[in-house]
Amino acid sequence: MKLPKQLLKRKTNTHKGDYGYVFVLGGSPGLTGAVALCANAALRIGAGLVRAGVPESLSNVLAVKVTEATVLALKEDRGYLSLQAFGEILKLLERIDVIALGGGAYQTPSVRSLLLKVIKEINKPMVIDADGLNALSTDLNVLKERKQKNIVLTPHMVEFSRLTKLTIEEIKDKRKELVKEFAFKYNLTLVLKGNRTLVSDGKTLFENNTGNPGMATAGCGDVLTGIIAGLMAQGLDALSAARFGVYIHGLSGDLAAKEKTETCLIASDIIEYLPAAIKKIGNK
């Protein structure tokens, strides 16, 4: 796979604003790590700026975990994101290029309402994962009501089961067909995570061949979300960002596993080995 030009070499006269602004929305008590992994992955893959929005009582905790990203303290409801945070998010829109949402957000009624409102009403490219997908599973019509179609969903098999209302066994029987059908129906890019992850925009289908069983560990999906969002922020369309993101994510995991073993691999190792993955692809 050949990297896009913007990932191989940067122009001399540039600044951080030239490489995109990612807003990461999520987090709840005990789950700030998901937001931190996503934000750090977006930065490591090359996004110029990243801001992470979490419930205000968790903002100091997150600030310790993300050095290069900035943190936005959002209105909360007993430690969880509140629908009242929507107004604060709207104030950022002029600067934001991509929104990555759902990681560690949990599923209270207020959180669900906020996530669905963001998806439906904010006309920005998005990568939706975890509790963003769980919120969508309660109202898929939100996807059809969006004006901006540059959107990526990143479910694993259980989350895809919730979205489609099919059993996991039913999905396994015709995985490729269902991924293409879902992506086409809702006019988006779908990433079905797992062994040989699938990526489709409803027209084409990409089957990934990187990655290993060591990546079956907490937080790896949050890293993938950050990588895809970071690539979109740098100008890649949804399908290209998803294809390259999945491939680079898996390759980084493969390189990390060689040094640290599959057994000892953790999600932050994937972020650590992203430079080696980029170098390896770029040297081909």
* SS3 assignment, position 272: helix
Residue 17 has pLDDT above 80, yes or no: yes
CA distances to 7, 86, 160, 174, 275 from 280, rounded to whole Å, are 12, 41, 32, 34, 9
pLDDT for res 30: 96
* Torsion over CA: 112, 113, 116, 122 (sign): negative
Q: What is the mean pLDDT of residues 61-72?
A: 97
Q: How far apart are CA 200 and CA 189, in angstroms?
A: 6
Residue 8 has pLDDT above 80, yes or no: no
**Nearest in space to 45 (alpha carbons), one of 252, 260, 214, 213:** 252
Can you list the domains of the chain with their CATH numbers?
18-282 (3.40.1190.20)
**Nearest in space to 83 (alpha carbons), one of 131, 35, 117, 119:** 117
All residues at 6 or more sequence positions from 51 whose CB lies less than 8 Å from its CB, including other chains: 21, 22, 23, 24, 69, 70, 71, 72, 92, 96
Q: How far apart are CA 192 and CA 208, in angstroms?
A: 10
Q: How far apart are CA 14 and CA 126, in angstroms?
A: 25
* SS3 assignment, position 8: helix
CA distances to 16, 28, 101, 205, 236 from 81, rounded to whole Å, are 29, 7, 12, 35, 30
pLDDT for res 5: 75
Under the banding of pLDDT at 50, 70 and 90, the label for residue 146 is: confident
Q: How far apart are CA 197 and CA 238, in angstroms?
A: 16
At 238, the amino acid letter reads A
Model pLDDT for residues 69-99, shown as the tens digit of each residue? 999 999 999 999 999 999 999 999 999 999 9
Model pLDDT for residues 98-144, shown as the tens digit of each residue? 999 999 999 999 999 999 999 999 999 999 999 999 999 999 999 98
> Higher pLDDT residue, 70 or 12?
70
Question: For the chain, what percentages of helix, strand and coil (3-state, to nearest 5) are there?
Answer: 50, 15, 35
CA distances to 7, 106, 128, 162, 173 from 168, rounded to whole Å, are 36, 22, 20, 9, 9
Under the banding of pLDDT at 50, 70 and 90, the label for residue 21 is: very high
pLDDT for res 283: 76
Model pLDDT for residues 187-218, shown as the tens digit of each residue? 999 999 999 999 999 999 999 999 999 999 99
pLDDT for res 284: 67
Query: What percentage of residues in the chain have a pLDDT greater than 70?
Result: 100
Mean pLDDT of the chain: 96
Q: What is the mean pLDDT of residues 150-177?
A: 97
Tokens of 115: 């996530």
**Nearest in space to 105 (alpha carbons), one of 222, 238, 235:** 222
- Residue 10 has a CB neighbour count (10 Å cut-off) of 13
Q: What is the mean pLDDT of residues 7-32?
A: 93
